[in-house]
Structure 1
Amino acid sequence: MAEDEKNEQSAADALTGEETDGGSTKLRLLVPVGVVVLSAVAGFLVTRLTGGSTASTQASAQDDSYATAQRDDGKGEYEYFPLEPIIVNLNEPRLARYIRATLTLVIRKEHSKDAIKVIEKKLPTIRSRLILYLSNCSLEEVRGAENLNRILRDIQDSMNDWLWPNGRPLIVRIDYSEWAIQ
């Protein structure tokens, strides 16, 4: 009973701002508030430093027209056709996991005009096939560099077989600019 009265008194003192046991309640309140503020600042900085991008950079990265870029060797042998980001849930029964992938199709320059016409015509179906493929993958199947390379090769082979069934494969490789698993 005496302990309950003591707790009520210390709670009342905390509300009125009176000192108890020689310590200031302002100091007691300042420490948790400081921790909350520091946590908020740290969270903000972590999201900014680990990939928080602005709407303008996302919009410029998702340009609808294909982008022409040079290969690292400077010869300019390839055309690059960026696809819009794909976000799908992974095939994980116990956890809600998803992947966000931004892929770019790499095409030899001498075949680029014909290839890009076919790709643009079938773009909705390409996106649909990518969504189906990635949504059938489990978390373990999409983790790691070895698995990522296998997935990119599978997608490349599948697209080449589907887009040009009787012809020469025109997609040289598939690059990724984003591969985020949550």
Structure 2
Amino acid sequence: MADVDEIKEQKESAEEKDGGKSLIKRFLPWIMIAVIAGFCAGAGFGLGRLFAGSGAPAPDGAGPKPDEPNLVDELAADSDSKNDYGEVWYYELDPVIANLNEPGISRYVRASFTLEISGEMDQEKGSAFFDSKKPILTDMLFVYLSGLSLDDIQGDKNLKSVQSRIREMFNERFFPDSKPQIKRVLIKEFPVQ
């Protein structure tokens, strides 16, 4: 009889051990899901804070002062300027060669653009201004074009999107608090190799 009792006790202890393992097996996937979800939420929050702008207002000295004329007023066409008020004029940019963002393939684009400038800006003053900003214009174009893929620059809609994005970039950079002075960006050449 003692042997029968020992056998029953061994079976009961084995069942208790199996019951503990099955409990762990049942809850382990849920624990893993909770840990992964918490990690992803924390990573998303951290990346959002990292890439978000500060949202803080500009310091007092950073903004334009009310008694100082802004850039658009300085470049405005007056009565003795050679271009007629309201008549657009054009400024040609230097060609930019940029590698496209194509993994595994070496593709590049050689792009030349012409800016259509508002007639409200004096042509001589505006040309001098854009000449002084030419390295910045070239850099902005290079960085923007390097981020595009082959699919981003093929087709009519995509090219118009590239033109409008370049126009917006330049207007935001050089004329942030005023009426846009660059009316259109015209493509002079845009071969892709």
1:89-128 matched pairs, under 5 angstroms: 89-113=99-123, 114-128=125-139
Correspondence for 1:77 among 87, 91, 96: 87
TM-score (norm 2): 0.53
Correspondence for 2:161 among 127, 140, 150: 150
CA distance in 2, matches of 1:135, 1:91: 6
Verify: 1:175 aligned to 2:186, yes or no. yes
Shift of 1:118: 2.6
**Higher RCO (Cα < 8 Å, 6 or more apart):** 2
Q: Is the 8 A contact 1:115 1:170 kept in 2?
A: no
1:1-182 matched pairs, under 5 angstroms: 77-113=87-123, 114-182=125-193
Whichever of the two has the greater Rg, that structure is 2
Supply the RMSD in Å over aligned alpha carbons.
1.4
Q: Is the 8 A contact 1:118 1:163 kept in 2?
A: no
171 and 112 in structure 1: CA distance in 2 versus 1, 3 angstrom threshold:
farther
Q: Which amino acid aligns with 2:145?
A: L
Q: Which amino acid aligns with 1:97?
A: R
Shift of 1:94: 1.2
SS at match of 1:151: helix
Shift of 1:85: 0.9
Moved more, 100-109 or 113-122: 113-122
Alignment coverage as a number of residue pairs: 107
Shift of 1:161: 0.7
SS at match of 2:91: strand
Q: Percent identity?
A: 36
